[in-house]
């Protein structure tokens, strides 16, 4: 699961800055800096992966901020937040503006706000420039998942009593959320792209959930149904709409009610 060296990442500040800015025009909550001098509140992704003490401190402090001292819940929800931000800031600029920032840990820092990963910082302007759909997806999978998130799952498992299936279920759910967001903005072409993405991912990420397309007259809803629970409800919240603990007929009835506007 090492990044594929055939995918070239070239230094081009103007191209990458333009791509990241384009994403923030559509999705204002997705922002990233490009600087070799991150603000003092940013945390090194390399330090997170290389230093168990840093990893444990960051995860547990994020858990306290979102309202839990349960290490398993904190670990699960930290990864969900972290992986969504990495995948979104990697794939959204690629498919919106044709450039994907290099997401290897040595090139990245992150910030946490209210217990969730809120902003990324890239130390260089290295980016992959878009090619064919399949090659773009493979490049994203190799660099973001194979070269970063795979290592993070191993680190989390070594420090917390948490299962691999839950961790990979969170990464799959985060990726599905990215495609669903892009589909909502740009249309149904992203449905086929999302389906293709999940045929190319590592085996541990497969069979963690599936897309469900619901059509009603001229409207449609495209949903992701997980096969495991992220533990969000243990914060005292309602279960997520896609929660595996909610029986499928009830989930799908909720989807229809949302599509009907009820």
Q: Predicted confidence band at 71 (pLDDT cuts at 50, 70, 90)?
A: very high
3 has pLDDT over 90: no
pLDDT at residue 133 in the model? 94
- The pLDDT of residue 223 is above 60: yes
Mean pLDDT of 181-208: 96
Sign of the dihedral defined by the CA atoms of residues 22, 26, 30, 31, in that order:
positive
Q: Which of 5-19, 91-105, 125-139 has the lowest mean pLDDT?
A: 5-19
Q: What's the pLDDT at 259? A: 85
Which has the higher per-residue pLDDT, 99 or 262? 99
% pLDDT > 90, the chain? 90
The pLDDT of residue 35: 97
Average pLDDT for 229-239: 94
pLDDT at res. 248: 92
Q: Quick one: pLDDT at residue 4?
A: 46
- The mean per-residue pLDDT over the stretch 157-169 comes to 97
Name the fold adopted by 10-202.
Transferase(Phosphotransferase); domain 1 (1.10.510)
Domain ranges for the chain: 10-202
Residue 241 confidence class, pLDDT cut points 50, 70, 90:
confident
* For residues 233-250, average pLDDT: 91
pLDDT at site 262:
61
Q: What is the pLDDT of residue 107?
A: 98
Q: How would you classify residue 110: left for phi > 0, otherwise alpha for psi between -120 and 50, otherwise beta?
A: beta
Mean pLDDT of 35-49: 97
Q: Residue 216 — very low, low, confident or very high, per pLDDT cuts 50/70/90?
A: confident
CA distance 170 to 50: 22
Does this model's pTM top 0.85?
Answer: yes
Res 242: pLDDT: 83
CA 174, 186, 104: angle at the middle one, nearest 5?
40
Whether the predicted pLDDT of 208 surpasses 50 = yes
Pair of tokens at residue 192: 């086929």
Q: How far apart are CA 77 and CA 72, in angstroms?
A: 9
Stated length of the chain = 262
The CA-atom distances, in angstroms, between 233 and each of 202, 220, 243 are: 28, 27, 9
On average, the pLDDT of the chain sits at 94
């Amino acid at each position: 699961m090492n990044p594929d060296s055939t995918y070239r990442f070239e230094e081009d500040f103007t191209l990458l800055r333009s791509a990241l800015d384009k994403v923030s025009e559509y999705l204002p909550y997705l922002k990233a800096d490009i600087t070799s001098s991150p603000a003092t509140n940013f945390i090194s992704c390399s330090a997170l992966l290389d230093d168990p003490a840093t990893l444990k401190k960051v995860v547990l402090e994020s858990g306290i901020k979102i309202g839990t001292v349960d290490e398993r819940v904190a670990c699960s929800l930290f990864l969900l937040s972290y992986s969504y931000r990495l995948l979104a800031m990697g794939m959204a600029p690629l498919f919106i503006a044709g450039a994907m920032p290099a997401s290897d840990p040595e090139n990245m820092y992150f910030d946490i706000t209210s217990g969730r990963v809120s902003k990324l910082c890239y130390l260089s302007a290295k980016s992959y420039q878009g090619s064919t759909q399949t090659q773009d997806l493979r490049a994203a999978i190799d660099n973001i998942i194979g070269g970063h998130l795979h290592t993070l799952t191993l680190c989390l498992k070594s420090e917390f009593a948490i299962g691999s299936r839950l961790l990979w279920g969170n990464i799959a759910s985060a990726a599905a959320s990215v495609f669903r967001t892009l589909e909502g903005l740009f249309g149904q072409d992203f449905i086929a792209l999302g389906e293709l993405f999940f045929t190319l991912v590592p085996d541990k990420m497969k069979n963690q959930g599936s897309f469900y397309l619901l059509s009603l007259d001229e409207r449609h809803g495209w949903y992701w149904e997980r096969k495991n629970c992220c533990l969000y409800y243990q914060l005292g919240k309602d279960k997520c709409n896609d929660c595996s603990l909610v029986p499928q007929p009830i989930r799908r009835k909720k989807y229809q009610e949302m599509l009907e506007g009820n």
